[in-house]
Amino acid sequence: MGQIVAVILSVMVLLVVPLGVLQVHTVLQAKNELLEISAVATKHVSNHGGANDTVVQQEVRSIIERELAEKRFSLSGQELAVTVARTRSADPILWSHEDEFYLRLEIPYPRFTRLIPMPSQSMEVVRYGTINMMDYDL
């Protein structure tokens, strides 16, 4: 009887440990992809600015979609929530030089399996930046 229990426990350990390793790998991969995409989007906004909030939001969304397609990340554009907003601005409409902004990307917490309990929260990355583009009418 003791051998049966030992075999069952050994099999459980052999099944659960690889699942845990895969779960950790899935979470770390999603976090790294989120960091890389947020860096690209923040750099784009910082270097280009924009006419207004809608244009900036559309440009960021298109940059993210292009990055996801080119690099074949495991993230999908449908599950990615994007927020771009200014924290300090000189002009209420035009995104211009020295305006400060933040970019927030959020995805549902990635899961490889439901066997391992993980938080049902979301994973997010927030980056802050300053617009460096100078677009003056002379």
Give pLDDT, residue 136: 54
Give pLDDT, residue 125: 93
Q: For residue 138, what pLDDT band results from cuts at 50, 70 and 90?
A: very low
Give pLDDT, residue 17: 67
Residue with tokens 């003791």: 2
Closest CA to 130 of 93, 104, 106, 103: 103
